[in-house]
């Protein structure tokens, strides 16, 4: 096994060396540094941008300029440290005057990207911007048509999203970028890693975390539970509050992202607080979650990747399925509210 790992690492490094010496297309003429990309050999998430910019060309590293700062913040919001993901571009040398890469340049450079993907074998690919999407999937792949749909490259799911540089001109796209990266994180976790949160570890730092979620009341007074794929436990839809969001906005957004349903919040229900150690982040979380009672007003029930199943359940079924005592307290209040 170690031999195979060493061989994969050697192929990745050899590819980087070939990129640094490459003269396959005209872009080598104006570059200061080629930018092969970087990240761990066993990265679950593989990000693909368009091409190096001025800062990247100067440093030889991907996403180190203003767009890189936006990307780092979005990754952090998705609980994916930058050093846990592989980051590269479809074209490895800077086009002059920051123009977009031309078709022949994309074609010349594509074999390097294909080798990197084959060696890293990530669980999910994320394309940042239209050029990255076309560079990966070929001509005719438009971001507006493909975003939010299932796309696949060599058997690996692809999440097309916006380039962080686009957010410099349109801040409203930032929420979409973050939502897509959260989805990538969930998909990467969904592959039966069986991660378990654990008791607090004194030697690890503690971070506060604020989430918001909902108990959704559906047909015949049943409520909706989700089964998490990573921990294999039943829970209520909820998620982290983004900067600038209210608790209500987070609950509505998270429900839609996780279940596919649009909901109306009926009333606040309960606030729970608990602490745990989360191995993927290497930190303890001191978490507060606010729950609302909600009813569906549209959408279609379709749990997002990261959840194995969504099920409308009665109170006895909910008490039997739910894993955490906190969740049982929340649904007890929900059923009292439904009765009254």
Q: Quick one: 107 or 329, whose CB is closer to ligand SF4?
A: 107
Q: Quick one: 28 or 333, whose CB is closer to ligand SF4?
A: 28
Q: Quick one: 109 or 179, whose CB is closer to ligand SF4?
A: 109
Residue 216 three-state SS: strand
Query: H/E/C letters for each residue in 36-74?
Result: CCECCCCCCEEEEECCCCHHHHHHCCCCCCHHHHHHHHH
- CB 56, min distance to ligand SF4, A: 12
Q: Quick one: 91 or 146, whose CB is closer to ligand SF4?
A: 91
Cα angle: 280, vertex 283, 287; to 5 degrees:
105
Interface stretch with ligand SF4, choices 23-31, 250-258, 309-317, 328-336 (CB under 6 A):
23-31
Binding marks (x or -) toward ligand SF4, 277..296, rule CB under 6 A? Answer: --------------------
Partnered with residue 223 across adjacent β-strands are 217, 313
- CB 30, min distance to ligand SF4, A: 10
Site size for ligand SF4 (CB under 6 A) = 14
Q: Of how many residues is the chain composed? A: 340
Residue among 25, 17, 167 nearest 94 (CA): 25
Of positions 8, 28, 73, 121, contacts ligand SF4 by CB under 6 A: 28
How far apart are the C-alpha atoms of 275 and 286, rounded to whole Å? 4
How far apart are the C-alpha atoms of 207 and 23, rounded to whole Å? 48
Give yes or no for residue 22 binding ligand SF4 (CB under 6 A): yes
Q: Quick one: 60 or 148, whose CB is closer to ligand SF4?
A: 60
Give yes or no for residue 35 binding ligand SF4 (CB under 6 A): no
How far apart are the C-alpha atoms of 294 and 223, rounded to whole Å? 10
- CB 20, min distance to ligand SF4, A: 8
Instruction: Give residues 92-131 in contact with ligand SF4 (rule: CB under 6 A).
Output: 92-93, 105, 108-109
Residue among 40, 125, 131 nearest 82 (CA): 40
- CB 149, min distance to ligand SF4, A: 29
Instruction: Supply the DSSP string of 115-181, one letter for each residue.
Output: HHHHHH--SEEEEESHHHHHHHH-TT--HHHHTTS-EEETTEEEEEE--HHHHHH-TTHHHHHHHHH
Residue 55, sorted as left (phi over 0), alpha (psi -120 to 50) or beta, turns out to be: alpha
Number of Cβ atoms within 10 Å of the Cβ of 339:
8
Instruction: Give residues 37-96 in contact with ligand SF4 (rule: CB under 6 A).
Output: 91-93
Q: Quick one: 25 or 167, whose CB is closer to ligand SF4?
A: 25
Q: Residue 99 gets which letter from DSSP?
A: P
Of positions 19, 124, 224, 289, contacts ligand SF4 by CB under 6 A: 19
- CB 22, min distance to ligand SF4, A: 3
Q: How far is CA 212 from the centre of its chain?
A: 18
Q: Which residues contact 326 (CB under 8 A, 6 or more apart)?
A: 272, 274, 289
Q: Quick one: 24 or 262, whose CB is closer to ligand SF4?
A: 24
- CB 104, min distance to ligand SF4, A: 9
Number of Cβ atoms within 10 Å of the Cβ of 137:
17
Of positions 34, 45, 71, 331, contacts ligand SF4 by CB under 6 A: 34
Q: Quick one: 22 or 85, whose CB is closer to ligand SF4?
A: 22
Give yes or no for residue 263 binding ligand SF4 (CB under 6 A): no
Of positions 12, 15, 16, 27, contacts ligand SF4 by CB under 6 A: 27
How far apart are the C-alpha atoms of 197 and 173, rounded to whole Å? 32
Q: Quick one: 55 or 329, whose CB is closer to ligand SF4?
A: 55
Note the residues at the interface with ligand SF4 (CB under 6 A): 19, 22-25, 27-28, 34, 91-93, 105, 108-109
């Amino acid at each position: 096994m170690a031999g195979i790992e060493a061989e994969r690492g050697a192929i990745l490094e050899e590819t980087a060396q070939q990129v640094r010496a490459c003269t396959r297309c005209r872009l080598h003429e104006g570059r200061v540094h080629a930018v092969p990309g970087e990240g761990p050999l066993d990265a679950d998430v593989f990000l693909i941008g368009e091409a190096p910019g001025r800062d990247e060309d100067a440093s030889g590293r991907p996403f180190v300029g203003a767009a890189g700062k936006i990307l780092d913040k979005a990754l952090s919001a998705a609980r994916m440290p930058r050093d846990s993901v592989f980051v590269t571009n479809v074209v490895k040398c800077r086009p002059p005057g920051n123009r977009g890469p031309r078709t022949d340049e994309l074609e010349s450079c594509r074999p390097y990207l294909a080798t990197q993907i084959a060696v890293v074998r990530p669980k999910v690919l994320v394309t940042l911007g239209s050029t990255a999407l076309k560079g990966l999937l070929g001509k005719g792949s438009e971001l507006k048509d493909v975003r939010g749909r299932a796309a696949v490259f060599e058997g690996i799911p692809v999440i097309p999203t916006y380039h962080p540089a686009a957010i410099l001109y349109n801040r409203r796209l930032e929420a979409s970028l973050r939502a897509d990266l959260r989805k990538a994180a969930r998909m990467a976790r969904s592959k039966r890693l069986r991660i378990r949160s654990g008791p607090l570890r004194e030697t690890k730092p503690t971070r506060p975390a604020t989430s918001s979620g909902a108990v959704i009341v559906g047909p015949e007074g049943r409520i909706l539970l989700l089964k998490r794929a990573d921990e294999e436990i039943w829970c209520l839809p909820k998620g982290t509050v983004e900067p600038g969001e209210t608790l209500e906005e987070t609950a509505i957004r998270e429900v839609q992202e996780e279940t596919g349903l649009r909901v109306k919040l009926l009333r606040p229900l309960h606030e729970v607080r608990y602490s745990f150690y989360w191995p993927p982040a290497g930190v303890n979380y001191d978490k507060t979650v606010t729950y609302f009672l909600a009813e569906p007003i549209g959408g279609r029930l379709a749990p997002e990747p990261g959840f194995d199943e969504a099920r409308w359940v009665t109170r006895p079924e909910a008490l039997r399925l739910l894993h955490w005592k906190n969740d049982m307290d929340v649904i007890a209040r929900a059923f009292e509210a439904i009765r009254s």
